[in-house]
Structure 1
C-alpha cells in the first residue's frame, strides 16, 4: 500500500483520529510520567488482540470459514432459526472464550454466510454484538470487567455466576426476542454462484486453529505478549500474506482508546466528582456504572469505580448493562463492526443498541434487586 493510500485510509478512521486528538489534548493539559502511559496502554490486552487477529486472518485465508458457512446454511431452513442459532452460539462461546474471542470466531462466519445467502449481515452482526454482552455477563471469565471484579470480590466461580444469572437471563431473553422480531420471516435462500468452491488449505487451517487455541490459553495464563510475538514470528515465516492483510489500524485504534480513556479516568476532577456520589445506594452505583461505561467504555469504568463500590456484584451488573448503548460502551461492539466491515455499521448499531439499553437497564435492575 502506497503512502498516499495509507493516508487516505487513515483519514477514514475517524474513531482513531478522535481518540488520538483526545490523548494529545490530555497529554498537554495533564502531563504524566512514562509509567502512567505504559499502564494505560494495556500492553497485554493489545498483545492478545494482535494474536487473535493473526489467528483469525489465517483461518479466513485458509477457506475454512467459508466451508463451515456453506455447511451451516445447507442445514438451516429459516433465517430466524439461523439467526437464533448464531446468537445463541455467540453468547455461549462468550462465557468460556470471552466476548472478544467469540466475535473473532462468529463474525467472519456470519459474513461468509451472508455472502452466499440472503442473511442480512449487518443486522446479524449487531445482534451478535448484543449477544456477547449478554452471554459474557454470566461468566467470571467472560470479559475483562468480570474477571477483575470476580477476583476483587473474593467469590467462587459458581457464586459469581449465580449472582449474575438474573441479569444475564434478562439480557439474553431480550436479545433472542429482538432476533426473532428483527430478522425476516423468510427461508434461507442459498446463492450457488456465491459459493467458494476452492479446497480448504488444510495446513494453514490447522496452523491457524492451533494458534487460536494457544493464544486463548496463553492469555488465560498472562502470557499474551509472548504468544503474540510467537504467532507473528511463525506467520512471518509460513503465512506472510495473511500477516500483510492484518488490520493494523484496528490495533492502533485500540491503543489510542486505551491511552485517552485511561488518562481521562484518572483525572483529579473525575475522582472529585465521584467522591460526591453515595455508592452505598444500589441505584446510584447502577446508574454510575452505566453512565461511566457510555462515556469511557465498561472496562475503564470498572477500574474507575472499583475503589468507590462496596458491592462488586452490583458494579459488575451495572458495567455489563453499560456495554449496550453507545458503541464505546463495550470494545466488543467496535470489534464486531470492524470484523464485519459493513457500510453504515455504526449507525445501525446505535439505532438498535441505544433503545435496547433503555429497555434493558430498568428490567435488569428490577429483576436483579428482586432476586438478589
Structure 2
C-alpha cells in the first residue's frame, strides 16, 4: 500500500508542476480530485479519514472572502478600478504605478486570485483603447497582487492556511509581513518600468476614439461591500474565530433584494476549494505511511529544518515555481507538525513573493494569462520571466533581511 500511495503522490505533484498531463484536458484541480478518488477506492484512505484530513476552517475563510469579493465584483467596482487605471491621465509610468498600488492594496484585504480575475479583461480593454501594450501592465497586475497579498492573513489561499494552522493574529501578521509586502510591490513597479522603458506603445493601431463607456459602480452594492470589509477588520481584532467572522460577513452579503444567491455563489472559485480539499486528502494519505514524519526527524537531526532562512528561502523559491506556492505550503505544513511562529511568517511572505518568479509560480499569474488570452492578449513565459526573476530575487532578498534583522527567523 505504501508503494501505491507514494507513486500516486508523486504523479499528483508532477501534475501540479506541469499544470496538466500531455494529451489530456485535465488541470491541477482535476488531477488532485482523481488522485483523492483513487486513494479512497484503493483503500489507502477511508471516507472518515478524507473528511478528517480537510481543514474546513481554512476552506470556510476562503469561501467567505470569495463571497465578499463577489459583492465587490457585482457592484462593478473591479471593472471601474481597471477602467480608471487605463483611462486616467498621465504617462504610462504613472498608469503603471497606479496599477501596482491598486492591485497590491486590494489584494491585501481580498483574495488576490479574485482581484486579478475581475480586473484583467477591463484593464486590457482600456489599455488597448489608449494604444498601450497591455503586457507590462498585466505583469505588474499579477506581481503586485501577489506581493500585496503577502501583507495579511486573508490576502491569498496559502496565508489563510498558514494563519489557521498557527492561530496567527491578523494585526500581528500585518506588522511582521506588511513591510516586506510593500517593498515587494515597489520592486514590481521598478522592475517592470525598467524592463519595458520606451516600449509602452502597442504595435497595432488603437481602436477609434469613443469606443466603450466607463462603467459606473452600483453605489448601494459597493457601500455594502465596503461596510462589510470594515466590519470584518473589526472582527479580526476580537476573540471570535476568523472563520466565524468571515462566514458571518458572507451570510450578510447573501441577504439581498437585488442580487440572487445563485449569482453570488456562481462567482465563487469552486475549483480552488476542491483543489485545497483534494490536496489535504493526498497529503493525509502520505502522512499515514509515516514517511513525512521520518523525513522531518532526519532533517531535524541534521539541522536542516526550514525554520531558518538559509533553508526556507531556497525551498520556497524552488517549490513555489515547480508545484506552485499553494500546493507547496499544503505539503510542507502536512509534514511539519509544529513550526515556530517566526517560521510561519517567513513561509507566508517568502512563498508568496516566490510566486512572482515564473508564470506557474502562483494561481494569480495563471489567471491573468488565461483571462488576457480570452481578449486576445498573449503574455509569454519569457516575457514574464524577464520581469519576474529580478522582482522576485529583490523582494525575497529584502524579506529575508527583514525577518532576520528583527529576529523573526535565524539566518542559521
TM value normalised by structure 1: 0.71
Partner of 2:408: none
**Structure 1 pair 79/306, CA: closer, same or farther in 2 (3 Å)?**
farther
Give the alignment partner of residue 315 of structure 1, picking from 343, 347, 352: 347
Task: Give runs of aligned pairs for residues 1-372 of structure 1, distance below 5 A.
Answer: 14-29=27-42, 30-32=44-46, 33=48, 34-36=50-52, 38-39=54-55, 42-52=58-68, 54-60=70-76, 72-97=85-110, 99-100=112-113, 102-103=115-116, 106-107=119-120, 110-114=123-127, 116-139=129-152, 142-143=155-156, 145-146=158-159, 152=166, 157=171, 161=175, 165=179, 167-168=180-181, 171-180=184-193, 181-182=195-196, 184-186=199-201, 191-196=208-213, 200=216, 205-216=218-229, 217-218=231-232, 222=243, 223-234=245-256, 237-240=257-260, 243=263, 246-247=266-267, 251-266=269-284, 267-268=286-287, 269-277=291-299, 278-279=304-305, 280-294=307-321, 295=323, 297-298=325-326, 299-300=329-330, 303-304=333-334, 307=337, 309-310=339-340, 311-312=342-343, 313-325=345-357, 329-337=361-369, 342=374, 348=379, 350-352=381-383, 358-360=389-391, 362-364=393-395, 366-370=397-401, 372=405
- Aligned-residue Cα RMSD (Å) equals 4.4
1:303-336 per-position Cα deviation (integer Å, ceiling 9, x unaligned): 3466454442433343223323455644444554
**Structure 1 pair 13/228, CA: closer, same or farther in 2 (3 Å)?**
farther
- In 2, the alpha carbon distance for the partners of 1:109 and 1:15 equals 27
Unaligned 5+ segments in structure 1 are: 1-10
Q: Across the two proteins, how many residue pairs are aligned to each other? A: 349
Contact 1:108–1:340, Cα closer than 8 Å, also in 2: yes
Task: Name whichever structure is richer in helix by fraction.
Answer: 1
Bigger Cα displacement from structure 2, 177-186 vs 64-73: 64-73
1:107-136 per-position Cα deviation (integer Å, ceiling 9, x unaligned): 465245236433434542332111122223
Partner of 2:5: none
Bigger Cα displacement from structure 2, 15-24 vs 335-344: 335-344
- In 2, the alpha carbon distance for the partners of 1:112 and 1:245 equals 26
**Structure 1 pair 365/39, CA: closer, same or farther in 2 (3 Å)?**
closer
SS at match of 1:194: coil
SS at match of 1:54: helix
- In 2, the alpha carbon distance for the partners of 1:148 and 1:303 equals 9
Alpha-carbon deviation of 1:348?
3.2
SS at match of 1:210: helix
1:213-271 per-position Cα deviation (integer Å, ceiling 9, x unaligned): 3553448553333443443452xx524599289456xx231122112222233322444
- In 1, the alpha carbon distance for the partners of 2:182 and 2:83 equals 31
